[in-house]
Structure formats: structure tokens, C-alpha cells
Amino acid sequence: MPVLYDRLLKLKEMFNSKFGSIPKFYVRAPGRVNLIGEHVDYCGYSVLPMAVEQDLLIAVEPVKTCTLQLANTNPLYPDFSTSATTIQIDKTKPLWHNYFLCGLKGIQEHFGLSNLTGMNCLVDGNIPPSSGLSSSSALVCCAGLVTLTVLGMNLSKVELAEICAKSERYIGTEGGGMDQSISFLAEEGTAKLIEFSPLRATNVNLPSGAVFVIANSCVEMNKAATSHFNIRVMECRLAAKLLAKYKSLQWDKVLQLEEVQAKLGISLEEMLLVTEDALHPEPYSPEEICRCLGITLEELRTQILSPNTHDVLIFKLYQRAKHVYSEAARVLQFKKICEEAPENTVQLLGELMNQSHMSCRDMYECSCPELDQLVDICRKFGAEGSRLTGAGWGGCTVSIVAVDNLTSFLANVHKAYYQRIDGSLAPEKHSLFATKPGGGALVFLEA
């Protein structure tokens, strides 16, 4: 906490020099690392993340005018000012301030408010951006909590998480809710199994003989700036509909792969067998999907696909469903191993993480050469398991490493990946650190 207190004091000084006044309160929201369960939350399945110690802080002063002024301690992110009464979010440009506006608009709409008070806000963060550690969702959550506090309203952490998950979609990302949930529901010292519909979080105690190490590939990927992420969401939605049709369910009401399993009342392992029978490994064209479902191309575009996936020509439904059902099973196995704590816990968890990376790479195709190389290096130098974490296509890996091996592991990975002969990785982007489960979002009244 002393480090956080120092940051708050520094933020107070910077706020004063920027706005000529003192903040009334501060809000903190953490980043997160997902230990296992990639790309399954928006399919209705549980995930197993923990909050990291890196976070976002916002210093806030409500003002009498209707102007919202946003500033950032990082000069890469320019100041932004707008009227608090007309919030416009431009989906075509995932600029930093739009994530703040998402959180603000979510709270505004939840309470049905037409007018919001103005405020001055200064944002400070130490989560590496576009790294898969959820810096953007932390900003949405921070903004939601800022707005709630300014209004003097109360909501539970679960309600806040659900509102922020929904409101991040204003930026065009069809996410599932893991990032916002762990940001609010995290507790120091424990990972969480997060389940959806209804949203709930259960403590998962991690093995004491191991640590989780995050390594940044230094390839940036902004979910809202690329179509990769939303295409995967639609492929899963289409796979769910084709599986439902194959099993004579009311497919037009089905949106998530989990719904198909729930309606059939069978295990994840059995769902993998149904997938083998119902879907073919060759990619589907929009025309073939229409034939399978008995709909027109126009109906596919307007009733099923999101606007930013209208022009996609191929959909890999078999591969995406196989990943989701197998990954959902790995999440439950991971939790079970942590609970039972056999002697070889670390090795077993590592195997699940390795399987997860393989599935992300081969079936979900959300890895990239740098992530694969980094995972290989981490395993070579003693990680029991290593995988990409976050959406993928760049960002970070997470590895499980025996405590006794940590010092040599960090030194060797640093040398093998970051100290490249061609010096192609800028030193300030290096991010290699062991992390412990951190706490969730908070409001501070004094600094």
C-alpha cells in the first residue's frame, strides 16, 4: 500500500497543476490475468482469472458546470473535453477516452438519467496497454465507479460488473464479462472462478509452491481495433445455432454454446462428440450456413451477425466449438486440482495451461508467432506450463513456475526473449514479472 499511497499523492499534485484544484476522491481498478478459460466467457462458460497488482487510478473533482474534462498522466493519451449531457462514443475509433465514456454512459442509462454533472478527471495507469491484461476494461470499470460516486448512488459489486460489461460494448467489442467481473469481485490472495447467468465468484486457492509469471510479447493488440475478436464471437454464435438445429432445438433463440449443452443436459465431453457429428472441419461459407439454417443471406446479416462481421467470407465453426467445449472443461479441472491439492498439483495445472495454449493456437487461431516463441522459451527455462492470456493475437503469456526456480527463470527468459541481438524490443515495453492475486476496485476519499 505505501507504493499506492505515493502514487495517489503524486496524482494529487499533478491534478492540482492541471486543474488548479484538489481532487475530492480517487478510484482504483486493477488489471487482470486469466489463468485458464480463454474465449469462453462470451459463450456462457466459467473463467478463472485473478486481479494483478497493476491498476488504473483516477483522481476526480465534480464541478458545477456540465463539462466533463479528462486528462491522462501519460502524454501519449491527449486531453479530452465534452458536455456531460450529450455523450457520444465513436465505435470507429477506440480512443482512450471512449472507454471512460462507456463506463459513464452505462451508469447514466442504468439510472435513466438525462443530465450528469460535470467533472474533472486525471487518469494514471501502470497496466501495459494492449497487452491482454485488461487495461481498457479497468478504465471502463473505473469510470463506472467514478460516475456512481459522483451521483452519490449505490450498487452492489455484481451489479456494477454487469453494467460495465454491457456498457463496454458501446465501443464495438462483443465481450463476455470476465474482465469487468474480476475487476470488481477480486480479493487479495485468491484467484476466482467466475460464473455467469447469474454472475457469481468463488475463491480458488492457488498452490503455495508456485508463482504465476506474466511476460509481455510486446506485440500490441487492441480488441476494439480489429475484427478478429468479433469474428470469433460470431463463429461461436453460429456454431451454437448449427449444433442446436442438428439436435432439433429451437436454434433461433440460441446465442451461446453453453445454452446448447444446458438444453441437451449432457457433459462437456459429450458436447465434443456432438460437435464431431454435427460440424465439419472445413470452413463454412455464409451461403452454406444459410442453407443449414434455412434462412436468407439478408436474414443472416441483419438478424445474427454483428455489423462489423457482415463481410466475412469464411467461418470456422467446428474448430471454435471444439476449443470452447474443451477449454470450458479445463477450467473446471483446474479448479478441482486446486481444491484437491495433490502432490503434483503444479505439474497438473501446467499441463492444463499447455493444452489451453495449444487449443488457442491451433483451434481458435488467436495466437501469433511471438506468443508461440515466448511460450516455448518459458517452458524451456522451467515453466511447468505456459499459455497466452487475454484475447491473444499479441499481448502477454502467463506461466506457472516453481518458487525455487523463479530467479533463474526470470533471468533466462529476459535474456532469451527481451535481449535480442537486433535490439528490436524497446526497453520500456519489457514486462516480465511474477504476480500475486490482488484486490478489486476501490474508492479512496483522501490522499
Residue 30 burial by Cβ neighbours in a 10 Å radius (0-12, 13-18, 19+): buried
Helices and strands in the chain, H and E counts: 14, 12
Active site residue 41: no
Strand bridging mode 432-435 / 210-216: antiparallel
Alpha-helix runs per DSSP H in 281-344: 286-293, 297-299, 317-340
What is the C-alpha to C-alpha distance for residues 102 and 106, in angstroms, rounded to an integer? 6
Residue 121, classed as helix, strand or coil, is: strand
Phi-psi domain of 113 (left: phi exceeds 0; alpha: psi -120 through 50; beta: other): beta
Task: Using alpha carbons only, give the angle 97, 98, 101 rounded to the nearest 5 degrees.
Answer: 95
What is the C-alpha to C-alpha distance for residues 22 and 12, in angstroms, rounded to an integer? 7
Set 6, 124, 179, 376: catalytic member: 179
Residue 76 burial by Cβ neighbours in a 10 Å radius (0-12, 13-18, 19+): exposed
Residues known to be catalytic? 179
